[in-house]
Structure 1
Amino acid sequence: MNTLRVLLYTVTLAVVCSPLWAQTNTFEVRIANHPVGTIEARQDVNGHAKSIVIKTHIQVMLSKVNSDIINEYNNNILTLAKSTRQSGKNGDDKLTTTRREGSSYSIVVNGKRQVINTNEIQHCVGDLYFSEPKHINRTFSETLGQFLPLKSLGGGQYELQLPEGKKNIYKYDNGTLVQVEVDHVLGKAIIVKSS
């Protein structure tokens, strides 16, 4: 009887102390059909808490960009998002922090603070890496610190409308993100799921 009790306690402790669900997706970034970088997206779910971490590393000729996005949710509501981009070029680096404060969100972009009067952000761009955004018509950009329109194009394709008229197209196969077409200053970049 004691052995059964110890086994049950051990199994319960293992389930409670470890994430109940984790998912990691990796992507290759291509420009003109040449690999120029990688994206690793990880999502951990533990009870009512969810975290998303996205790490991007891109190198095109002498230009190098590293970016990280970290999102934390409680009961499917964003509580904290932090986005950093480092390029090594003066003026190109960016730090955006979004924090839930009561019935609004405080957003600080490179030291400049603004407030969005919404009490819940339930979907961010980072979520696009893990699930098809069915029935979602806007998503919050952790990098820009603002909501962006999201439109279904049918056939598992969605258009994310960016400022200045740019668009990214997210393509899903059976609910899994398989490709993103990105409008970029260097031309069109393609992000393809590799694992």
Structure 2
Amino acid sequence: MISCKLINKVLLSLFFCTVLFQVPARGQAIVYDILLAGRDVGELKISPAVGGSSNESFRVEGAISTLFYDVVYKGENQFERGVLKTSMSSQEVNGKLKERTKTYQTNDSYQVIFADAKSSTRKNPPLPSLINHTVTSLYYHEPINFRQVYSERFARMCPIRKVATSSYEVVMPDGKKATYHYTQGRCHEVESEIIGIGLVFKLRPDSLRR
């Protein structure tokens, strides 16, 4: 039998993997319930996109609460003319910074700063000269004809493929997978699974009527 401590570690890992959906350009945040084995353990808020179709800013913020962990995730993107200019991904566990990744476009390349509670490191990872899609942007746009998305947490490109009608699978650098399901261009559910434990991000119906 899987211990409660192991379940919570897996849940934490899945949460980081997935976060990191088509949202109205204006209005209030869209909310997704985070479910573990059908039990509500948190929520993810997707802020309305700011700007036009080519110059956009995205922001997501999520929180989960379990027996051993309280986790807060934040992600931000800024695009200009459809190209990623900056991104930030951060996670706090039990009120303390676990990790933060910042990405900046400089000339024809990207610089990345990895930080935790004790130190920070600047790197120039092998990335495309232009990044057009991120994991966060999957919450805002259905990835039709996408082949890769940028993981703001890992600072790596991740393959994405269509696995069914309006459903897409992303493989993270650590091998974890997440499947995004869309209806009429809007993401209504995300599924992740590891060692038999499923985590689901499910669109809260009443958030669309605000």
TM-score normalised over the length of structure 2: 0.77
| Residues 109 and 145, structure 1, Cα contact 8 Å, conserved in 2 | no
Q: Which moved more, 1:125-134 or 1:42-51?
A: 42-51
Structure with max Cα Rg = 1
Q: Which of 188, 191, 198 in structure 2 is aligned with 1:178?
A: 188
| Structure 1 residue 81 displacement after superposition | 0.3
Whether the 8 Å CA contact 2:148–2:160 is kept in 1: the answer is: yes
Describe the superposition over 1:52-72 as per-residue Cα deviations: whole angstroms up to 9, x where unpaired.
000011011131100100111
Which consecutive segments of 4 or more residues in structure 1 shift more than 6 A? none
**Distance (whole Å) between structure 1 residues aligned to residue 174 and residue 111 of structure 2:** 24
Greater shift, 94-103 or 106-115, is seen at: 106-115
Q: Specify the alignment match of 2:123 in structure 1.
A: 114
Give 1:22's aligned amino acid. R
Q: Is the 8 A contact 2:151 2:172 kept in 1?
A: no
Query: What residue number does 1:82 align with?
Result: 88
Tell me what 1:45 maps to.
50
Say whether the 8 Å CA contact 1:103–1:117 is kept in structure 2.
no
Name the CA distance, whole Å, in 2 between partners of 1:117 and 1:39: 28
Matches within 5 A, 1:9-24: 21-22=25-26, 24=29
Q: Give, in whole Å, the separation in 1 of the partners of 2:84 and 2:38.
A: 36
- One-letter amino acid of the structure 2 residue matched with residue 60 of structure 1: T
CA 154–168 in structure 1, closer or farther in 2 if over 3 Å, else same: same
The within-5 A match list for 1:156-175 is 156-175=166-185
- Between Structure 1 and Structure 2, how many residues are aligned? 175
Q: Which structure 2 residue ranges, 5 or more long, are not aligned?
A: 1-23
Tell whether the 8 Å contact from 1:25 to 1:42 is kept in structure 2 after alignment.
Answer: yes
| Deviation (angstroms), 1:117 | 4.6
The root-mean-square deviation of aligned C-alpha atoms, in Å, is 2.1
Distance in structure 2 (CA, Å) of the matches to 1:168 and 1:26: 18
Tell me how far 1:144 sits from its aligned partner.
1.2
* CA pair 117-181 structure 1, distance change in 2 beyond 3 A: closer
Contact 1:43/1:50 (8 A) holds in 2: no
**Counterpart in the other structure of 2:149:** 139
Q: Identity of counterpart residues, as a percentage?
A: 22
- Indicate yes or no: 2:35 matched with 1:30: yes
Q: Which runs of 5+ in 1 are unaligned?
A: 1-19
